[in-house]
Amino acid sequence: MNSKQTNPPQKGVPGRKPLGKRAMTNAERLRRSRRLLAEQGGHAFAIRVQGAHWTEVQWFAAATGQTPTEVVRQIVQDALDRFVLVPREAQAMLKRGASLEDAAQYIDDNLDTPFHGLTRIRRKLTTDTP
């Protein structure tokens, strides 16, 4: 007698229906996801957060009710907004005829703004304390 038993195939196994004749592997699913993101003009990055930075990300996530991934995404987006979009807008101002002083003032006013998430934390902490 064979000690191995075979389980009969289950009907209606839960899960997503495959796009083709078979389910995609994890690698295929990841390639498809990255391709779709690229078609929308985006790009996925893997970053490493360690030590005190990771501790602060976890604290920030707990304080705001977000996941650590959402917190890091918000930090990166804020940094990109500041260091890419602000200088680009200052250049556009100059092309539209603004003075160098006005463009410099725009940079001063917008490059060193507080992290948007800190406002959310302050609001949450002040409403949660008696």
The domain spans of the chain are 51-128
Q: How far is CA 49 from CA 46, 54, 73, 120, in A?
A: 10, 5, 12, 22
- pLDDT by residue (tens digit) across 59-69? 889 988 899 99
> 76-106: per-residue pLDDT in tens?
888 888 888 899 999 999 999 999 999 999 9
The per-residue pLDDT for 102 is 94
User: Is 70's pLDDT higher than 70?
Assistant: yes
Kindly report whether the global pTM for this prediction surpasses the value 0.75.
no
The burial class, CB within 10 Å (0-12 / 13-18 / 19+), for 115 is middle
| The predicted structure's pLDDT at residue 95 | 96
